[in-house]
């Protein structure tokens, strides 16, 4: 499959499903993101709860068997307690070009402690046709930010996806600084770079950008991208060769909200002797500042300079506004969070192997004694972990306030003195009891974290590289304050 084919918005990884025509990629983008919207979306700390469904942009995340292979739209109706995931389909069937909305999952929502949602899947579309479940299939989860500005969703058997409510085009007359981390794909440490893989030693791990503009023209200036920090000292890695800045995107009303496509005509660092298709990225920014980027195409080259998309490598990026002053680390680690672990697996042969997603809970009102066996507590550490059987809806969990196990610890380390909210020398401690630990004993790996506030609540987005566990893989830990 060509890189341009992969840039189409609704390609399907299952060979039984019609693939997107290469010649239709630009047509798909034109159909999806045509028109302009001059509405504003200033970052605010509160917003009225919508009376009906709220639409969210979700980037593609590597792993799983879902036919959604690029951006998709989630709809949550908190009043009717329903949800759906769909995408704009452009492909061929029976030899004819077809286009329209295709729903992949839909069902019901049920509130749990600490604002976690249990999702019941009543409908699923796959290559064999639609499937219905009565009663709805359980084991899917979501966590929405207050006032529906964004959140995290995981359909059973699929990787977690960050979601942003791009209710309006950004209104950044004064450029807004953002921090971001890559959404990792299958870990790759040697050989020719592949689409939807991640090599932390040469590709972007984290970075910053200044986003400006309003209406349809959005600019991305001062794009700073760094490879993963070295394990020695945890200093930021070398600059990653990437797109030149500034880049200009076009924001318009689309099926996925008011989404910015970047860029229309890119200026890209020459990727070397191998030809690649232009990068295409879809960016959504929620009203409280949550940023998600989906890379709809990525380059390949085995020689420097290495080719990157707009912000993150892997399959995209997740980000938040850079705080205007240093984050109070004591308050940050003293809060309570819900979210997800995402292990990206490792590239083997033609695909990823060993990826995983688990619901995460961090922070306790009283630290359990079992935490001491995971890591020695420091002033910059927050304890947490998974849920037994990955089931936060169990009676035992709900009856005790919705808190999970204590089998993982995150030591954020020292905040970067020059970048508010950046913790470049974090460490993740994996206890022996953690469901994702197959080693039989505890171990740790280095990470980088960004932190700030979304709608008055803390958020922590972490990216790590695990070279001890099996498989060696990239880790994403995405946490949103739940108290």
The 10 Å Cβ neighbour count of residue 466 is: 24
List, in order, residues 6 or more apart from 94 with CB less than 8 Å away: none
Cβ neighbours of residue 254 under 8 Å, at least 6 residues apart? 32, 33
Q: Give the span between the Cα atoms of 230 and 465, in whole angstroms.
A: 10
Give Cα separations from 131 to 91, 114, 119, 265 (angstroms): 21, 31, 16, 41
DSSP 128-172: TEEEEEEEEEEEEEEEEPGGGSEEEEE-TTS--EEEE---S---E
How far does CA 130 lie from the centroid of its chain? 27
Query: What is the C-alpha separation between 191 and 197, in angstroms, rounded?
Result: 11
pLDDT for residue 241? 55
Residue labelled with tokens 């060993």 = 354
Residue 312 burial (C-beta neighbours within 10 Å; 0-12, 13-18, 19+): buried
User: How far is it, in rounded angstroms, from Cα 195 to Cα 23?
Assistant: 19
Going from the C-alpha of 227 to that of each of 268, 273, 425, the distances in angstroms are 18, 22, 13
Please give the Cα distance from 348 to 425 (Å, whole number): 29
DSSP string, 428-473: EEE-TTSTT--SSS-EEEEEEEEEEEETTEEEEEEEEEESSSSS-E
d(CA 430, CA 423): 19
- What does the pLDDT profile of the chain (483 residues) look like in tens digits? 222 222 232 333 332 222 222 223 333 443 454 433 333 333 433 334 455 789 999 998 888 665 555 688 999 998 999 999 998 776 655 555 667 788 999 999 999 999 999 999 999 987 777 899 999 999 999 998 876 679 999 999 999 999 999 999 998 989 999 999 999 998 988 777 777 788 888 888 999 999 998 778 999 999 888 888 754 444 566 666 556 678 888 898 888 899 998 865 544 443 333 434 445 788 999 999 999 999 864 444 445 444 556 888 888 999 999 999 999 999 999 999 999 999 999 886 556 678 899 999 999 988 999 999 999 999 999 999 999 999 999 999 999 999 999 999 999 999 999 999 999 999 999 999 999 898 889 999 999 999 999 999 999 999 999 999 888 999 999 999 998
Across-strand partners of 475? 343, 464
Q: Which fold has domain 329-481?
A: Lipocalin (2.40.128)
Give the tokens for residue 378: 């420091």
**Neighbour tally for 69: CB within 10 Å:** 24
Give 413's DSSP letter: -
Residue 238 confidence (pLDDT):
63
Q: What is the DSSP letter of 243?
A: B
The answer to whether 358 touches 376, Cβ cutoff 8 Å, is: no
Task: Please state, in angstroms and rounded to a whole number, the distance separating the CA atoms of residues 461 and 283.
Answer: 17
Residues in the chain: 483
Rounded CA-CA distance 348/190 in Å is 12
Name the phi and psi angles at 147, rounded to 5.
65, 25
CA distance 106 to 196: 26
For residue 195, list its beta bridge partners. none
End-to-end CA distance of the chain: 46
Query: CA-CA distance, 226 to 213, in Å (whole number)?
Result: 25
Contacts of 481 (CB under 8 A, 6+ apart): 335, 336, 337, 457, 458, 459
Look at residue 92 and give its three-state secondary structure.
strand
């Amino acid at each position: 499959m060509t890189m341009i084919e992969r840039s189409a918005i609704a390609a399907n990884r299952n060979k039984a499903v019609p693939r997107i025509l290469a010649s239709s990629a630009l047509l798909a983008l034109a159909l999806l993101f045509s028109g302009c919207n001059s509405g504003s979306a200033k970052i605010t700390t509160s917003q009225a709860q919508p009376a009906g469904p709220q639409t969210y942009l979700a980037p593609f995340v590597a792993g799983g068997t879902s036919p959604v292979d690029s951006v998709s739209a989630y709809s949550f109706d908190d009043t009717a307690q329903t949800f759906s995931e769909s995408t704009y389909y452009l492909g061929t069937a029976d030899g004819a070009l077809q286009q329209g909305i295709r729903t992949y999952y839909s069902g019901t929502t049920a509130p749990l402690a600490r604002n976690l949602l249990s999702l019941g899947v009543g409908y699923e579309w796959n290559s064999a046709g639609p499937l219905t479940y009565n009663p709805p299939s359980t084991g899917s989860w979501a966590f929405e930010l207050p006032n529906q500005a964004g959140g995290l969703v995981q359909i059973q058997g699929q990787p977690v996806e960050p979601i942003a409510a791009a209710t309006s085009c950004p209104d950044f007359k004064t450029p807004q600084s953002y921090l971001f981390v890559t959404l990792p794909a299958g870990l790759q440490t040697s050989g020719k770079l592949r689409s939807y893989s991640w090599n932390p030693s040469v590709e972007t791990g984290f970075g910053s950008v200044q986003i400006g503009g309003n209406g349809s023209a959005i600019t991305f200036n001062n794009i700073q991208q760094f490879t993963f920090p070295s394990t020695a000292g945890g200093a930021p890695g070398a600059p990653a060769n990437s797109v030149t800045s500034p880049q200009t995107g076009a924001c318009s009303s689309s099926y996925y909200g008011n989404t910015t496509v970047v860029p229309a005509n890119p200026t890209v660092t020459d990727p070397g002797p191998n030809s690649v298709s232009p990068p295409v990225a879809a960016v959504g920014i929620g009203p409280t500042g949550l940023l998600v980027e989906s890379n709809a195409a990525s380059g390949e080259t085995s020689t420097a300079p290495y080719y990157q998309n707009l912000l993150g490598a892997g399959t995209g990026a997740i980000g938040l506004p850079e705080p205007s002053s240093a984050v109070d680390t004591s308050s940050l680690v003293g809060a309570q969070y819900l979210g997800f672990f995402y292990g990206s697996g490792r590239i083997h042969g033609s695909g990823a192997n060993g990826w995983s997603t688990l619901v995460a809970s961090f922070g306790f009102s009283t630290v359990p004694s079992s935490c001491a066996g995971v890591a020695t507590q420091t002033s910059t550490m927050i304890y947490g972990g998974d849920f037994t059987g990955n089931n936060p809806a169990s009676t035992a969990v709900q009856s005790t306030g919705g808190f999970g196990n204590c089998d993982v610890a995150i030591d954020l380390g020292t905040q970067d003195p020059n970048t508010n909210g950046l913790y470049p020398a974090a460490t993740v401690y994996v206890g022996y009891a953690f469901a994702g630990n197959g080693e039989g004993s505890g171990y740790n790996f280095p990470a980088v974290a960004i932190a700030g506030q979304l709608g008055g609540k803390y958020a922590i987005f972490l990216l790590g590289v695990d070279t001890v566990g099996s498989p060696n893989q990239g880790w994403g830990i995405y946490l949103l304050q739940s108290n």
